[in-house]
Structure 1
Amino acid sequence: MVTQHPSRTIRPEHRVPALIAVVAALLLYSFLPFDLLSVQRYVVVVTCALLLVPLIVVNPRRFNRESRWSRRASLGLTFLLLAANQLTLVQLIVLLVSGVHEGPTLLLAALEVWLTNVIAFALVYWDIDRGGAIKRAMSPRDELPPADFRFPQDEDHDAVTEVAKRSSIGSDWVPQFVDYFYFSLSNSMAFSPTDTMPLSHRAKLLMGLESFAGFIILALVIARAVSLIG
């Protein structure tokens, strides 16, 4: 069992936001309108559900316990969801080119794939940065792995008093899932970093992939679907 270091003053992160995100992503993936994805969607949803249940048992309310297998299960779930959605994006483009489905169907599918992408990337960012949610909250800062992302709070300690109070130094702040979801959403819409900057190669590659996928969806899939409606 992981115990919180006495130097840490924050409470471990609550499970609900990340759980809602996983369930939402699985529901979006389950209701994609394409019959071609029937086998793939069931395999992905069932596998993710099987990985999610023991993770909830280990940390039912807050993320304060971690073992080697639970860490691997968490990473496996998030990366499986991410990889499956990228494959779905490729299949969506193939269906678009083949002209099998009508415009409204493609628009609905594009929206679902885009929303699932935002959630899946947010989960991956949340799970890899500084060792994950449990390590970020429980371990002393000088033992945390190098950060993959730099948030505004990480450099606000010398700002005006009311801003500095929320800084990493001033309040022992660490990012939680909502922070990763926000910057995943903004990265997917702006196609570039906004207030959160990638620091590691893997972070830059992941954010680049998310931006590229978002561009493909908006520039190719949605544009073509709208033309089909017209």
Structure 2
Amino acid sequence: MDTAAGNDPGAENHDAAVERDARAEHRWPAVVALAVALILYALLPSDILSVPLRFTMVGLAIVMLVPVVLLNPHRLRRQTTWSRWLSVGQAVVLVVANQVALVQLIFLLISSGTKDGPSLLVAAVQVWVTNVIAFALVYWEIDRGGPVTRRHDARTELPSADYRFAQDEDHDAIDEVAARSSARIDWTPSFVDYLYESATNSMAFSPGAAMPLSPRIKGLMLVQAFGGFVMLALVIAHAVGQLGG
């Protein structure tokens, strides 16, 4: 006896798999951003970090990246305990390593006077961009359980949110705005959203489109904004000193 297509378990499972695949976030925006950060970090002047230290950190980041890319080469469909630890650990390692570079850069900006002015200003840009990417990766990895959990688990099963995005509360706005809301289209943030939040926090020293909710996110944003503010103040002072010199 023929089975109606609508009641075919195989067809239903296939449709569910296709839907899960369509919801899965692309891997490569985060990988490209990480590659940019690692290149900038590797090209820092030796006065800030020694060559062995820089390339050890870059090598460690690559070693941690390879297994998680092999697990999800194109879209983030699967997650294991070890892949979760590697993904979060990689982002944290990059943040910590860049904070070391930031502290050393601040020391050089304070103590070098007009010496090596252009190279220090270029290094400041490298550290700042790397910081934006590193914190974006951390925010992306920890909010609501990470990119795999956010896209595949039911909202009732998600961990508490670290950020409140505008889309999370736009369902009762006018139609053209509500059309993009989480309630209407089951929207969830992607890496670009966290990159924007990180960049805004580094430039304006305040939240962008999303409001921080959890103490851990507020603490991370405070560390990021404070470092960016100190570096910006010293870079401006150093640039003025270069012009005056």
TM-score of the two chains, using structure 1 as the length reference: 0.93
1:194 is displaced (CA, Å) by 2.5
In the alignment, which residue of structure 2 is the partner of 1:126? 140
1:93 aligned residue (106, 119, 126): 106
Counterpart of 2:108, as a letter, is L
Alpha-carbon distance in 1 for matches of 2:171, 2:198: 24
CA deviations on 1:53-101 (whole Å, 9 max, x unpaired) are 1111000000011100000000110000000001101011122233184
Residues 1-230 of structure 1 aligned to structure 2 (within 5 Å): 11-37=23-49, 38-99=51-112, 101-230=115-244
CA deviations on 1:151-193 (whole Å, 9 max, x unpaired) are 1000000011111111011000000000000111111110111
CA deviations on 1:94-123 (whole Å, 9 max, x unpaired) are 222331841101100111000001100100
Percentage of matched positions with identical amino acids: 55
Cα RMSD for the two superposed structures: 1.9
TM-score of the two chains, using structure 2 as the length reference: 0.88
Is the CA contact (8 Å cut-off) linking 1:157 and 1:165 kept in structure 2? yes
Mark the structure with the bigger radius of gyration.
2
Is the CA contact (8 Å cut-off) linking 2:110 and 2:234 kept in structure 1? no
Unaligned stretches of 5+ in structure 2?
A: 1-15
Unaligned stretches of 5+ in structure 1?
A: none
Is the CA contact (8 Å cut-off) linking 1:10 and 1:137 kept in structure 2? no
Counterpart of 1:58, as a letter, is L
Alpha-carbon distance in 2 for matches of 1:78, 1:33: 22
3-state DSSP of counterpart to 1:23: helix
3-state DSSP of counterpart to 2:124: helix
3-state DSSP of counterpart to 2:40: helix
Is the CA contact (8 Å cut-off) linking 1:198 and 1:204 kept in structure 2? yes
Count how many residue pairs are aligned between Structure 1 and Structure 2: 227
3-state DSSP of counterpart to 2:23: coil
